[in-house]
Amino acid sequence: MSAVNNPFTLIGAVVLGAVREMGEITLFLLSALRQMLRVSGGAAGQFARQCSFVGVESLPIILLTAFFTGGVLALQSFNGLSGGPLVNTQLGRLVALSMLRELGPVLAGLMLASRVGAAMAAELGTMRVTEQIDALVTLAANPVRYLVIPRVLATLLMLPLLVILANVMGIFGGYVVATKVLSVPAMQYMDSTYGAISGEDMTMALVKAAVFGLLVGLMATYHGFKADGGAAGVGQATTRAVVYGAVSILVADYFITAIFV
Amino acid sequence: MATVIDIKNVKKSFGKKEVLRGASLKIERGTTQVILGGSGSGKSVLLKCILGLIEVDGGSISVNGKPANGLKETEHAELMTMFGMLFQNAALFDSMSVWENVAFVLLQRKMDRDEAKRIAIKKLAMVGLRADVAELSPAELSGGMRKRVGLARAICHEPEIIFYDEPTTGLDPITADVINDLIIKLQKELKCTSVVITHDMHSAFKVADRMAFLYQGQFIAEGDVKSFKNSDNPYVKQFVEGNANGPIQVTV
Ligand SMILES: Nc1ncnc2c1ncn2[C@@H]1O[C@H](COP(=O)(O)OP(=O)(O)OP(=O)(O)O)[C@@H](O)[C@H]1O
Ligand SMILES: [Mg+2]
């Protein structure tokens, strides 16, 4: 049997490839962490700019997403409860828990992966293929310190903030739909919401957000840095940054949830 | 004279494509070394190998007697402060203004911004650019202007060794000659060592102290300007004369 036809050889090659890729990403993260200990002046300015790009400029789209997600959650849960007697006491609780524990962090993370991850990978990929990263090296600047750290730090710190706001907005979206469309009494809806939120849920939301933020920044900068082969290479790097970012968020989400439950 | 850069038997392939197949060259302190070679012969790759931007597959490169490959990150950054590099396509940082590009190293060293800008404008003047380009972004420049900004950035921190990858390509003949004079002047004033890649034979003969010819991944000729002008080596002769007929076959 030839190597190509043998399924075990093929699976082996795929697994080896995946392991190598994960190893490389880990090394990249480690080199970034090493550099973090000596962040220089130029990098601080980069960090501020990235925070504004990642945090402030992502706000509208993330809030909009969260609002409608909360609304949909209210509609769906209302159906789930068959519009029955439990609606008044349970609807707020269902919306808040789903939002906090799952949809807030995951959706904000996915939005960030597509909006910010793509932009970062495209920018760094372009810098790579136009030799700007080489130029940084010849000017005795460390590209990891100068380009990667500020971006990864920005996504790591900004996503938890975005998630807090997204959760508030999601709960508000649920409230609007529940009270205006489904005619749930406002007081009871709010009581049910407040009763549901625990410190553990908040911690879970923030842990998820921080991990997802790290993943988005890491995947974007790693794939941007590895780009080669002109415009097509930048396009591929951008696609990879988004796909790997999104998939790694969903995988990490499973494991974090499993640990907390 | 002391050897500054010693390139020994350097090999580099990209996949199956062998680009450098045992290139060896010694570059002496304070001289201007011109490297000639056909398009795609690996001249730019060689410069990047010396700068550690590309890892070599075999052979060794030393700078001032110390190995230049496989350095730790801090040692490599230290080594880079000795070098200035003009990239073939300028490689300007397009998120920064022209003067911030030129003064990049100074700003990294936390020099006061006004002071850094003043120096950047002086360097821009050296490459024939007026002060009003300082605030422009690289995207607003013509190809020749970009090249000159790249040159100003390469020389801004007064490095000991300057690499010029096709410094006059894309410039009008008069500006090209301004750059030739600048290369000569920098070498005289800063006593720096220059390595110039060029296809412009007029410029090559004007700036060179030594010349070397890279062909099929190796240096097949090395010598002073006179030896290249009157070379009997059929390859060098064909290249210098720019003749389509000869031992070097270029497939179109
Ligand atoms: N990063 C890379 N990946 C793959 N191949 C490369 C890479 N860099 C250079 N090459 C190949 O190496 C060869 C030499 O390239 P190089 O840029 O050094 O040529 P050159 O001598 O500078 O040519 P020119 O005079 O046209 O600038 C080319 O065939 C090129 O395709
Ligand atoms: Mg070249």
The tokens describing B248, both together, are 């070097």
Which strands form B3-14's sheet, in the order they lie side by side? Answer: B17-28, B3-14, B58-63, B66-67
Tell whether B169 is covered by a domain.
Answer: yes
The Cα A146–Cα A185 span in angstroms is 54
Q: Specify the range with the lowest mean pLDDT, choosing from A224-238, A239-253, B26-40, B64-78.
A: B64-78
Residue A12 confidence class, pLDDT cut points 50, 70, 90: confident
Atom of ligand 1 nearest to the CA of B37: 21
In a domain, B186, yes or no: no
Determine phi and psi for A75, rounding to 5 degrees: -60, -50
Range A220-231 burial, b when 16+ CB lie within 10 A, else e: bbbbbbbbeeee
Say yes or no: A119 contacts chain B, CB-CB below 8 A: no
> What CATH number has the domain bearing residue B167?
3.40.50.300
Residue A5 has pLDDT above 90, yes or no: no
Assess if residue B189 is contained within a domain: no
> Where residue A151 falls among pLDDT bands split at 50, 70, 90?
very high
Residue type at B1?
A: M
Q: Could you tell me the residue range of the domain that residue B96 belongs to?
A: 89-158
Token pair for B204: 């090559």
Q: Which ligand is nearest to the CA of B18?
A: 1
| Closest to A113 (Cα-Cα) out of A254, A236, A221, A205 | A221
Q: Is B99's Cβ below 8 Å from some Cβ in A?
A: no
Mean pLDDT over A137-151 rounds to: 92
- Minimal C-alpha gap between B46 and chain A (Å): 14
Mark whether B174 and B52 lie in a shared domain.
Answer: yes
Determine whether B63 is exposed, middle or buried from the number of CB atoms within 10 Å of its CB (0-12, 13-18, 19+): buried
Which residues have CB under 8 Å from A250's CB, separation 6+?
Answer: A106
pLDDT at A180: 93
How far is A80 from A74, CA to CA, in rounded Å? 10
List beta partners, residue B83: B161
Residue B208 lies in a domain: yes
How many CB contacts within 8 angstroms connect chain A with chain B?
55
- Is residue B187 a part of any domain in this protein? no
The answer to whether B20 touches B49, Cβ cutoff 8 Å, is yes
Same domain for B71 and B171: yes
Q: Residue B185 falls within a domain, yes or no? A: no
Based on the domain organization, do B149 and B199 belong to the same domain?
no
Q: Which residue has the tokens 């939005």?
A: A111
| CB pair distance less than 8 Å for A138 and B93 | no
B28, B98: one domain: no
Looking at residue A89, its pLDDT comes to 87
pLDDT number for residue A41: 53
Q: Give the burial class of A249: count Cβ atoms within 10 A of its Cβ; 0-12 exposed, 13-18 middle, 19 or more buried.
A: buried
Mean pLDDT within A27-45: 68
Within this chain, do residues B139 and B233 fall inside the same structural domain, yes or no?
no
Residue with CA at minimum distance from ligand 1 atom 30: B40
Regarding whether B212 and B113 lie in a shared domain, the answer is no
pTM of the entire structure? 0.87
Query: For chain B, how many structural domains are there in total?
Result: 2
* A4 confidence band (pLDDT: 50, 70, 90): low
Which residue minimizes the CA distance to atom 25 of ligand 1? Answer: B39
CB contact under 8 A, B108 and A40: yes
Q: In this predicted structure, what is the pLDDT of residue B11?
A: 96
Residues B167 and B252 occupy one common structural domain: yes
Spatial neighbors of B46 by CB under 8 A, at least 6 apart, are B7, B10, B20, B23, B35, B214
B37 with B148, same domain: the answer is: no
Residue B220 resides in a domain:
yes
CA of A239 to the centre of ligand 2 (A): 30
Residue B108, chain A, CB below 8 Å: the answer is yes
Is A73's pLDDT higher than 90?
Answer: yes
Do B67 and B151 fall within a single domain? no
- Look at residue B50 in the predicted model and tell me its pLDDT: 96
With b for 16 or more beta-carbon neighbours within 10 A and e for fewer, the B134-160 pattern comes to: beeebeebeebbbbbbbbbbbbbbebb
Of A215, A196, A224, nearest to A255 by C-alpha is A215
Whole-angstrom Cα distance, residue A108 to residue A177? Answer: 21
Per-residue pLDDT at A208 exceeds 90: yes
Question: Of A65, A91, A52, A257, nearest to A174 (Cα)?
Answer: A91
Cα distance between residue A26 and residue A8, in whole Å: 27
Tell me the Cα Rg of chain A.
Answer: 22
Q: A132: burial class by Cβ within 10 Å (0-12, 13-18, 19+)?
A: buried
How far is the C-alpha of B84 from the C-alpha of B51, rounded, in Å?
10
Chain B nearest CA to A32, separation (Å)? 13
Q: Residue A146 C-alpha to ligand 2 middle, in angstroms?
A: 27
252 residues of chain B, pLDDT tens digit each: 689 999 999 999 999 999 999 999 999 999 999 999 998 899 999 999 999 999 999 999 999 999 998 888 889 999 999 999 999 999 999 999 999 999 999 998 888 999 999 999 999 999 889 999 999 999 999 988 999 999 999 999 999 999 999 999 888 999 899 889 989 988 888 889 999 999 989 999 999 999 999 999 999 999 999 999 988 889 888 988 888 888 888 776
Q: Looking at the domain assignment, is residue B250 inside a domain?
A: yes
Task: Determine whether A78 is exposed, middle or buried from the number of CB atoms within 10 Å of its CB (0-12, 13-18, 19+).
Answer: buried
Answer yes or no: do B229 and B172 share one domain. yes
Burial (Cβ within 10 Å: 0-12, 13-18, ≥19) of residue A79: exposed
CA of B41 from ligand 1 middle (Å) equals 7
| Yes or no, beta carbons of B80 and A138 under 8 Å apart | yes
Residue B60, SS3?
Answer: strand
Is there a single domain that holds both residue B41 and residue B120?
no
Which residue in A256, A254, A59, A52 sits closest to A168, CA to CA?
Answer: A59
Asked if residue A49 has pLDDT above 70, the reply is yes
DSSP B42: S
Q: Which residues line ligand 1 (CB under 6 A)?
A: B 14, 19, 37, 39-45, 88
Rounded to two decimals, the ipTM of the complex is: 0.92
Q: What angle do CA A7, A9, A11 make, to 5 degrees?
A: 65
Please tell me the predicted confidence (pLDDT) of residue A1: 45
Q: Does B237 share its domain with B219?
A: yes
Mean pLDDT of chain A: 89
- Flag if B85 and A42 touch (Cβ within 8 Å): no
Residue A134 scores a pLDDT above 80: yes
Asked if A142 has any chain B CB less than 8 Å from its own CB, the reply is: yes
**Cα(A99)–Cα(A95) distance, rounded to whole angstroms?**
6
